Amino acid sequence: MLALCDCNSFYTSAERVFAPQFINQPVIVLSNNDGCVVARSPEAKAIGIKIGVPVFQIQDLIYQHKVQVFSSNYSLYGDMSQRVMSTLAEFTPTLEVYSIDESFLDLSGFGHLDLIEYGHEIRQVVRQWTGIPVSIGISSTKTLSKVANHLAKLSDDGVSLLNPENTEKFLVDFPVEEIWGIGRSHSRSLANHGINTALQLRDVDLSWARKEYSVLMQRLVLELRGQPCFSLELNPPPKKSITVSRSFSRAIATLAELREAIATYTSRAAEKLRQHELTADAIQVFALTSRFKADYYSDSVTLTLDYSSDNTAEILRFALKGCDRIYRPELQFKKAGVILLGLMPKSQRQLSLWEPEEGRSDALMQTIDAINERFGRGTIQFAVAGLEKPWAMRQEMRSNRWTTCWSEIPVVRS
């Protein structure tokens, strides 16, 4: 048996852990530059706020219902996610972290337990230790666990179990478009074949599913029948690239500011590279103007490094060359970014005769990373990344980074 644990309205729930006065009030979280709604609490859903709606279009709703609005706080969400996953690991020897707010728990060998009660225990401990509410769906396959989790979110107790005795009862009215792995185009195509529910999909001919769609659809059908086809991924596949990109709070027209942005994103990408103990062979630099203007422009350039590296200074040298190539003085850029390519484990990289001595370079990068981790990102940075960064992403309503920044941790006075 598998359990899918899904954090309820994760971003807004993470915000309310440190702002409990907003529990039972509508809360929304905005996208980069505070543009659109990317997360909403159940109360915000109830008053009709949709995912993706531009915030300026719902100002009346925000004022009328006293909606609490937050900018995205990715440091907080990432750390709270790790706390939830660490808590879940207490309940199973085998765990797959599926996304920032979802995880599959292997419950094989737990047959001596009442799994419904075990699900309630997991919910209670996660809520007590992290403050995050979760829903738990339990069944014999990943796909059915997803269905069970969907049903758990609709129930009052937050736990749902699908077994051979009750599965058909729940699948008969379950919309096919809500099935894990069925996208919008597939759901329309299935509807044209008269398949509108999960039960109807479960009962199709396997050879037809494979011929008409793919082997993936055939496996989904088998999973709906209770036959596991998707195993837990305990070791995530190695990264093939690392991307860091942002929209600017205002348009950038000067080369100096574009170089600052590219240098900032390159530094962050190199930091991620070292966190994963990887090196990169190449870097792609790109920039674009607003998509909503007639003179829309985008360009990119890919440069191969002299040798595979995780050194920020070395990668920056090529990133800035790329920036100079794609810059156009007559344009106003709205977004830019970098992509590190040709990644490989640092222990397996091919050494070059022309690269500098590795020891001092590694020691410098490790020292910079350690200082930035302790005192906050950007405490030490390369001068070319700038200091004030007036173009930086707008986050006017960001909450404190309560768990990751010393200067913003909660203070209790007694």
Query: Which is it for the CA torsion 344, 350, 353, 359, positive or negative?
Result: positive
Q: What is the pLDDT of residue 250?
A: 87
DSSP letter at 387 equals S
Which regions of the chain carry the CATH code 1.10.150.20? 164-224
Neighbouring residues of 129: CB distance < 8 A, sequence distance ≥ 6: 83, 87
Give the three-class secondary structure for 56: helix
Q: What is the pLDDT of residue 377?
A: 78
CATH fold, domain 242-385, is Dna Ligase; domain 1 (3.30.1490)
Cβ–Cβ under 8 Å, residues 4 and 104: yes
Q: What is the pLDDT of residue 317?
A: 94
Amino acid at 384: V
Distance from C-alpha of 218 to C-alpha of 201, rounded to nearest angstrom: 10
Number of alpha carbons in the 13 Å side-chain half-sphere of residue 295: 6
The pLDDT averaged over each successive group of 10 residues in the chain (414 residues) is 94 94 94 89 93 92 93 92 95 92 92 91 96 95 94 90 90 90 87 91 91 91 92 81 90 92 94 92 94 86 92 94 93 93 85 66 88 82 86 83 85 85
Give the three-class secondary structure for 69: strand
Q: 1.10.287.110, 1.10.1060.10, 1.10.150.20, 1.10.3720.10: which CATH number matches 164-224?
A: 1.10.150.20
Q: 3.30.70.270, 3.40.50.80, 3.40.50.300, 1.10.540.10: which CATH number matches 2-154?
A: 3.30.70.270
Cβ–Cβ under 8 Å, residues 210 and 217: yes
pTM, rounded to two decimals: 0.82
Query: Which is it for the CA torsion 154, 156, 161, 162, positive or negative?
Result: negative
Give the three-class secondary structure for 102: strand
Q: What is the pLDDT of residue 33?
A: 83
C-alpha 99 chain-centroid distance: 6
DSSP letter at 296 equals -
Which regions of the chain carry the CATH code 3.30.1490.100? 242-385
Q: What Cα–Cα distance (Å) separates residue 221 from each residue in 148, 171, 190? A: 16, 12, 13
Query: Which is it for the CA torsion 30, 32, 36, 39, positive or negative?
Result: negative
Burial of 108 (0-12, 13-18, 19+ CB in 10 A): exposed
Distance from C-alpha of 126 to C-alpha of 132, rounded to nearest angstrom: 7
Which regions of the chain carry the CATH code 3.30.70.270? 2-154
